[in-house]
């Protein structure tokens, strides 16, 4: 028996050395709110400063982007636009995460829409960790499934097939992966049961694009929206939970689309995404509330109910906080939200008590990301912030204001950062940036 102990010890040490790097390797950023669907990452060793003069910029490439990139298998995918006048097109491009080399680029025409060109490229791509495929929803209603090399595996024309409606404002929805399904939602009007305009959810087989179910949980739409739902398991039941154009939050069964519960929140459509933590759902908006004249609310909902849970399953609320575009982030019992005036609020996730507030500019659209004890967040007027959240205050570690090449004016930033492999990726209306340690 003593003879085998050294051999067993050597085998154990070998396995430890081999598998430890795999355990420590952080997740890709395969969807716009990251691997946890809440804007957080397990990455460590991230930079706390960078500069446009070159400090900690690993690469940058020309790209007109409005959305959040996704990172999957050492590739970063991003939706944007290109061209001028009759050459204007939407595009998805794929870059090597290490070098910034463009690996492929697919352009598609803009049609069947009243969306202005400067708002083209609103949606975020979505990657599937299981297959490595990437899904893209264009403003014209084309819905693509690409493999990692840019080949189209299948596509649907949602406007022509299902009567998809796109609004002037460019509010087009981002798809999500839910098991073997890829789910996309939009306003539509069609035939039969879909003759009345509603905000509907369409679930397709992610492998072949075949329609699996359609769900219509809400009532009359009050606006075009772009709230991206999340996938969650509540009390053993797989749900898809998201904001609707009728101003409510709905939970639907993942396998069938059947509505489980609804929570009325706003007199306008919901644009922000929810966060799910355990059996709690956190939602925000910036319009008129259904029960007060105050504008905006942060609300915590008990997600274990059935039917209309508006008056029975609210755990706490914070009124007169206008968070209509930036989705929340949740970490260690703290809920971080950016209001429309670009103030970052930190709330107690259990009680709604405010810990602190920190200004990051004037216009809040991009959603904050928490990683390595820091918050990374963009501001529309060309600013990228790295912040250090504390117990009762927030410290600014680094602020970069990005201006246009041709004139002394800020570039607009609408997307959020994506974090993977020790690197931070984000887009502006001129470039895609990758920052990290050299």
Domain range annotation of the chain: 26-436
Q: Give CA–CA dist 121/92, Å, rounded.
A: 9
Domain 26-436 classified CATH 2.60.120.10? no
Weakest-pLDDT range from 55-69, 105-119, 191-205, 387-401:
105-119
Predicted confidence at residue 20, as pLDDT, reads 36
**pTM score of the predicted model:** 0.92
Query: In this model, does residue 4 exceed pLDDT 70?
Result: no
Cα separations (Å) of 382 from 49, 272, 408, 410?
16, 21, 12, 5
Is the CB of residue 230 less than 8 Å from the CB of residue 242?
A: yes
Which of 327, 335, 357, 284 has the alpha carbon at shortest distance from 417? 327
Q: What per-residue confidence (pLDDT) applies to 430?
A: 95
Q: What per-residue string of b and e applies to 88-125 under the rule 16 or more CB within 10 Å gives b?
A: ebbbbbbbebeeeeeeeebebebebbebebebbbbbbb
Using an 8 Å Cβ cutoff, are 229 and 173 in contact?
no
The DSSP annotation for 48-87 comes to S---TTSTTEEEEEE-EE-S--EEETTEEEEEEEE--GGG
Closest Cα partner for 271 from 252, 304, 249, 251? 249
Mean pLDDT of 185-196: 94
Residue 6 has what pLDDT?
A: 42
Q: How do strand 134-137 and strand 75-82 relate by DSSP bridges?
A: unpaired
Read off the pLDDT of each residue in 58-81 and give the average, rounded to a whole number.
Answer: 96
The Cα–Cα gap between 369 and 376 comes to 5
Please enumerate in sequence order all residues whose Cβ is within 8 A of that of 395, keeping only pairs 6 or more positions apart, or say none: 387, 388
**Mean of pLDDT values over 317-344:** 97
The share of the chain scoring above pLDDT 90, in percent, equals 86
Residue 168's pLDDT is what? 65
Listed in sequence order, the residues at least 6 apart from 392 whose beta carbon sits closer than 8 Å to its beta carbon are: 355, 356
Residue 9 to residue 40: CA distance in whole angstroms: 37
Q: Write down the pLDDT at residue 166.
A: 82
Beta strand residue intervals within 289-342, DSSP E: 295-302, 307-308, 314-319, 329-331, 334-338
Three-state DSSP at 294 gives coil
C-alpha to C-alpha distance for 348 and 354, rounded to whole angstroms: 6
Task: Give the burial class of 372: count Cβ atoms within 10 A of its Cβ; 0-12 exposed, 13-18 middle, 19 or more buried.
Answer: middle
Residue 199 has pLDDT above 90, yes or no: yes
| Average pLDDT score, the chain | 92
Span 235-277, pLDDT tens digits: 999 999 999 999 999 999 999 999 999 999 999 999 999 999 9
Q: Is the pLDDT of residue 188 over 60?
A: yes
| Closest residue by Cα to residue 231 from 248, 252, 207, 212 | 252
Task: Examine the pLDDT at 399 and tell me if it is beyond 50.
Answer: yes
**Which residues lie closer than 8 Å to 104 by C-beta, 6 or more apart?**
93, 94, 149, 150
45's enclosing H/E stretch is: none
**Does residue 283 have a pLDDT over 50?**
yes
Can you give the pLDDT at residue 86?
87
DSSP, collapsed to helix, strand or coil, labels residue 132 as coil
Instruction: List the strands of the sheet with 354-359, edge to edge.
Output: 329-331, 334-338, 343-348, 354-359
Q: What is the pLDDT of residue 8?
A: 42
Identify the pLDDT of residue 119: 83
* Mean pLDDT of all residues in 384-412: 93
Q: Residue 391: which region, alpha, beta or left (left: phi > 0; alpha: psi -120 to 50)? A: alpha
Q: At 205, which helix (H) or strand (E)?
A: strand 198-205
Dihedral angle, C-alpha 321, 392, 40, 228, nearest 10 °: 0
Nearest one of 288, 283, 224, 207 to 251, comparing CA atoms = 283
């Amino acid at each position: 028996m003593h003879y085998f102990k050294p051999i067993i010890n050597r085998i154990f040490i070998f396995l430890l050395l081999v598998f430890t790097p795999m355990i420590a390797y952080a997740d890709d950023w395969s969807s716009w709110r990251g691997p946890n669907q809440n804007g957080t990452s397990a990455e460590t060793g991230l930079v706390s400063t960078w500069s446009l003069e070159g400090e900690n910029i690993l690469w940058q490439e020309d790209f007109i982007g409005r959305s959040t990139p996704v990172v999957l298998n050492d590739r970063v995918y991003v939706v944007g636009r290109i061209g001028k006048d009759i050459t204007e097109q939407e595009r998805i491009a794929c870059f090597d995460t290490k070098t910034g080399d463009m690996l492929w680029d697919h352009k598609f025409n803009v049609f069947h829409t009243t969306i202005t060109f400067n708002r083209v490229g609103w949606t975020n791509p979505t990657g599937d960790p299981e297959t490595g495929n990437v899904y893209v929803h264009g403003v014209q209603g084309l819905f693509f499934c690409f493999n990692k090399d840019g080949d189209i595996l299948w596509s649907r024309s949602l406007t022509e097939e299902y009567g998809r409606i796109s609004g002037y404002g460019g509010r087009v929805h981002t798809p999500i992966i839910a098991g073997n399904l890829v789910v996309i939602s939009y306003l539509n009007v069609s035939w039969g049961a879909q003759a009345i305009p509603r905000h509907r959810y369409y679930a397709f087989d992610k492998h072949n694009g075949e329609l699996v179910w359609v769900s219509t949980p809400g009532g009359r739409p009050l606006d075009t929206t772009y709230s991206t739902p999340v996938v969650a398991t509540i009390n053993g039941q797989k749900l898809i939970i998201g904001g609707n154009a009728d101003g409510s939050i709905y939970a639907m069964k993942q396998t069938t689309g059947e509505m489980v519960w609804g929570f009325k929140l706003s007199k306008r459509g919901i644009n922000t995404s929810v966060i799910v933590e355990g059996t709690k759902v956190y939602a925000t908006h910036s319009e008129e509330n259904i029960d007060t004249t105050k504008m905006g609310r942060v609300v915590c909902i008990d997600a274990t109910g059935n039917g209309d849970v508006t008056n029975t399953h609210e755990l706490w609320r914070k009124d007169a906080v206008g968070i209509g575009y930036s989705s929340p982030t949740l970490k260690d019992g703290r809920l971080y939200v950016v209001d429309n005036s670009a103030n970052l609020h930190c709330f107690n996730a259990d009680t709604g008590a405010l810990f602190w507030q920190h200004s990051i500019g004037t216009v809040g659209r991009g959603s904050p990301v928490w990683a390595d004890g820091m918050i990374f967040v963009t501001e529309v007027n060309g600013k990228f912030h790295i912040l250090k959240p504390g117990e009762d205050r927030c410290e600014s570690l680094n602020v970069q204001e990005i201006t246009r090449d041709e004139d002394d004016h800020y570039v607009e930033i609408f997307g959020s950062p994506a974090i993977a492999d020790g690197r931070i990726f984000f887009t502006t209306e001129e470039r895609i940036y990758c920052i990290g340690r050299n």
